[in-house]
Structure 1
């Protein structure tokens, strides 16, 4: 890889990552009436989707990927929860599982979405159990599964599918 490609990937990837971080919070705030209607909660996870694309399309080895993961996790902790460590561990766990399982999946979209689903479940389970441990999650396992995990999974799988090929094209040009 030439130096200009390395530079381009290391500038554009984190820039998009930060924009998606801000968009995650903005979507949650502005579409809260739609995404969190009644007891059902669909939480956008655009940043996790972006990390999934980096793993799926093979560009994570060309940049300091886990430094970006930790940075975004700390930003999530600071901006959205105020409890340092919850999202940092969740992002690390979700991306680590996706990275380790990725060789067992092929490059087709449906296989990739299954890989993303597994990573997303690990991410959500990590945040749920961290919330249980520190005493901020007061919901049963069944309610968590029905009212948060299912709607969030469906919503984010649709988003990941919609942007799968455009992201593949962009990351192939960058990498």
Structure 2
């Protein structure tokens, strides 16, 4: 592989990761009325989706994925929540489980979506548990699963399905 090809992925992936980090919050703030209509609370997790695509298409061979996971988690905590550690741990745990599942599952779309589903569930459960422990989240587990987890999974898996092949071809172009 030529040096310029390796450099393209090393530059474009983290730049898009940090851009998506801010698009994530912008999407939530601009469409918050739609995403948080009572009783629903839908979270677009584009940042976790981009990390999933990085795990699925094995970018760790060319760049330090764990460094970016930790940095994005810290930035997410500082910029969106102000509670340090919650989303850093959620991102790390979700990516770690997705990486382990990547060794078990094959590279087909449905296997990848299952891997993303498990990572997304871990991400959401960690954020719920930390909110419950700190007293921020005071909803029952049933309400959380029905009104937040289920619509969040539907939205994010739909985004993952729509973006899977375009991002795959984009990564092929970068390599």
Determine if the TM-score, normalized by the shorter chain, exceeds 0.5. yes
CA distance in 1, matches of 2:136, 2:34: 24
Matched ranges for 1:111-126 at <5 A:
111-126=111-126
What CA distance in whole angstroms lies between the structure 1 residues aligned with 2:112 and 2:23?
A: 23
Q: For residue 49 of structure 1, what is the aligned residue in structure 2?
A: 49
Structure 1 alignment gaps of length 5 or more: none
Offset, 1:59: 1.5
Q: Distance in 2 between matches of 1:140 and 1:78?
A: 27
Written as runs of structure 1 = structure 2, the 5 A alignment for 1:141-160 is 141-160=141-160
| Distance of 2:70 and 2:2 partners within structure 1 | 27
CA shift, 1:2, in A, is: 3.0
Residue equivalent to 1:39: 39
For structure 2, the residue ranges without an aligned partner over 5 or more in a row are none
For residues 77-105 of structure 1, what are the alpha-carbon distances to aligned partners after superposition, in whole Å with 9 as ceiling and x for unaligned? Answer: 01110000000000000000000111221
Q: Residues of 1 paired with 2:13 and 2:159: CA distance?
A: 18
RMSD: 1.0
* Corresponding position of 1:21: 21
Paired position in structure 2 for 1:139: 139
Structure 1 moving runs of 4+ over 6 Å: none
In the TM superposition, what is the alpha-carbon distance from 1:75 to its structure 2 partner? Answer: 0.8
Show the counterpart of 1:75.
75
User: Can you list the C-alpha shifts for 1:121-165, whole angstroms capped at 9, x where unaligned?
Assistant: 011111111111222111111111011100000000000000000
Aligned residues: 175
